[in-house]
Amino acid sequence: MNPKPLFRNLIATILFFVFFAPVKAQVTHSIGATLPFGLRTYSVSANSKNTDAYYLAMFSYGFRYNLTKTDNSSFSIGPLISAGSGISEDGFLYSGDLQAWADYNIGMGAVQDPPKNTGVYFGVGFGGSYTGVDGDAIDDDNGISFGPMLRAGFRFGVMDTPIGVGLYYKHGLENAKWKTFGFHVLVDF
């Protein structure tokens, strides 16, 4: 499966919403950190399997458009863009990640002036990443991983600023079938 058309469509969708989103849509920007952990198992022979893993620390920036909202909830879409580095058994890693999300938000962070100081969110998305190790790709797929994603988390307010803490999972569709689990902390502004 060639990932280039998927990345092209993902970027085109994000640009569409940046330039053509409804004027009334509330935009929320976020910055923070993402800590992904990738894992894959593959056969080396009929009776033997190997497991590869990587750990990354990434700086993240994202924004979301609230497309619909009530007094205490909203439906939003938006990208999360991350870059960082990490380690694996192969050595030092560097990585870039692009995710597009559709979330349902309740409470804090869902609307501009929420009635509560806490909230939750959950959503689905699609993401793609490139991970390289010391100038080379991390696997036979040229370091590219892409696939559907699920996420959930909670938000709480600190001095009326929503801070989101959440988990996500990406199931890789590429040949290497990376399973990526992640933790992120994002501060809205």
CATH number at residue 80: 2.40.160.20
Across 106-117, average pLDDT: 82
**Predicted confidence (pLDDT) per residue in 116-150, tens digit:** 789 999 999 999 998 887 766 566 667 889 999 99
Say which DSSP state 108 is in: B
Least confident of 55-59, 85-89, 146-150: 85-89
Structure tokens given for 91: 């050595």
The total number of structural domains that make up the chain: 1
The answer, yes or no, to whether residue 22 has pLDDT greater than 70, is no
Q: How far apart are CA 171 and CA 126, in angstroms?
A: 9
Are 26 and 65 in contact, with CB atoms under 8 Å apart? Answer: yes
Domain encompassing residue 41: 4-188
pLDDT, residue 100, reads: 95
Across 102-122, average pLDDT: 88
Across 58-62, average pLDDT: 97
Q: What is the pTM of this model?
A: 0.82
The answer, yes or no, to whether residue 94 has pLDDT greater than 70, is yes
pLDDT, residue 4, reads: 63
Q: How far apart are CA 124 and CA 75, in angstroms?
A: 12
Across 146-155, average pLDDT: 96
Short-list 171, 127, 186, 141, CA closest to 38: 171
Across 35-49, average pLDDT: 83
